[in-house]
Structure 1
Amino acid sequence: MQSVLYRLGQARQQLGFVKPLSAAEYEEAALYLPPSALVLFRTMAPADQRHCLRVCQRLRERGCQDREMLAAALLHDVGKAQGRVPFWTRPAIVLGKKFTPALLTALAISPYEFGERIIPRWQRALSYAWWHAEIGANLASAAGLSQQAALYIRTHHEAHGPAAALHAVDEVS
């Protein structure tokens, strides 16, 4: 039941029922991001910015002092930004992972393989959602984050990977 309530809360936020970050909250994000990466942070929807800041704050509350991990927390979902991942894809990914993982894996093409192929809009969006960690890691690296921070972003869905602490907080934030 708590998982259902959590997902409903996420849906509410994604539908626009979330306050944009305050100047003080942007200043907090700026403590861990270089200016070029802060520009990237601002490309995310307000709900995603608030989620990423919350993940960063919760990591700090748990004692995390790794600046690379905290920077990665702020940008771990940036691969979803700029309209790449519309709202409807988020529940599709959650449900697909739970009930039809093989089908989801087959449908999600790496955006780096799109090339000149004509990909239906729904499949393109689903693919970006599925591959957002890889896309986000590349964007963060290009914006000046370290390779370690990019690795944390790339692996933030791995429960036992390099970003296991980020994963654990992300799952409940």
Structure 2
Amino acid sequence: MRRHGAGREGKLWRLPGARRVRQFARAMTEHMTEEDWRHVQALLPTDALPLFRAMHPADQCHVLHVERMAEEMAAREHLPREERALLARCALLHDVGRVRGDLDVMGKVFAVLVMHGLPAVGRRMMCRDAHVPWQKLGHALYVYRHHPSIGAAKLRAAGLVEEAAIIAQHHEPPSLLDPPVLRILKAADEQN
């Protein structure tokens, strides 16, 4: 990924809330390189590539960060090769429920602020479909809240049943019963 601007060094990035600021800065400045695209194409089955491409570019960069961190975590835990391959696919596809136009960068900023600051208001504003312009914000809230199940349905339709089962749960609270792939995916996503 090509980055523009300052790096993560310095005290600013260790302040409370800095993770969200860093996410926003990444979303506004990063983009996929040719090397990144080759990496994604090597890891994903052909049927999954259209789902990956449909994501907003900021989400594509985000999931690539998650995949790389998850790979490091899996290596430290000596996860078997088959589980590491599943983890890589899940990391790259975990946000396919959010597509370009449904929840772009500013829509996600809005959704995070409302759902964390005024959750009752956010729940009342949610709407599954946006038929008129003023419903767009409600639709962004709906997608933000339900993108794991939306993405899982898309993956099942593409024949990626195992990935769908993991991705449907990736925003659930951590559990001692989580399989290693889900546990690592949750941890890597939380840090990115």
Establish whether TM, by shorter chain, passes 0.5: yes
- Corresponding letter in the other structure for 2:23: Q
- For 1:102, the equivalent position in structure 2 comes to 120
1:57/1:116 CA distance change after superposition, 3 Å: closer
**Could you tell me which amino acid in structure 1 is paired with residue 88 of structure 2?**
L
User: Quick one: which of 131, 134, 138 aligns to 1:123?
Assistant: 138
Q: Which amino acid aligns with 2:165?
A: L
Moved more, 100-109 or 48-57: 100-109
Q: In the alignment, what sits opposite 1:20?
A: 32
Name the TM-score, length of structure 1 as normaliser. 0.81
CA RMSD after TM alignment: 2.5
Contact map agreement 2:91 2:185 (CA 8 A) in 1? yes
The 4+ residue runs of structure 1 with deviation greater than 4 A are: 114-119
Which one has a bigger Cα radius of gyration? Answer: 2
- 1:140 correspondence with 2:136: no
Q: 1:42 aligns to what SS in structure 2? A: helix
Gaps of 5+ in 2: 1-13
Give the structure 2 partner of residue 170 of structure 1: 189
Relative to the length of structure 2, the TM-score reads 0.74
- With over 3 angstroms needed to count, the CA separation of the structure-2 counterparts of 1:86 and 1:26, relative to structure 1, is closer
Q: SS of 1:131's equivalent? A: helix
Deviation at 1:9, TM superposition (A): 2.2
Indicate the residue corresponding to 2:166 in structure 1: 152
What is the Cα deviation at residue 37 of structure 1?
Answer: 0.3
Structure 1, unaligned runs of 5 or more:
none
* Pair 1:62-2:62 in alignment: no
Q: CA 1:144 to 1:28, structure 2 compared with 1: closer, same or farther past 3 Å?
A: farther
Q: Identity of paired residues, percent?
A: 29
Do 1:21 and 1:49's aligned partners in 2 also have CA atoms closer than 8 Å?
no
Change in 2 beyond 3 A, CA 1:118/1:54: closer
Take 2:104 and 2:55, find their aligned partners in 1: how far apart are those partners? 12
1:46 equivalent in alignment to 2:65:
no
Contact conserved, 2:174 with 2:183, CA < 8 A, in 1? yes
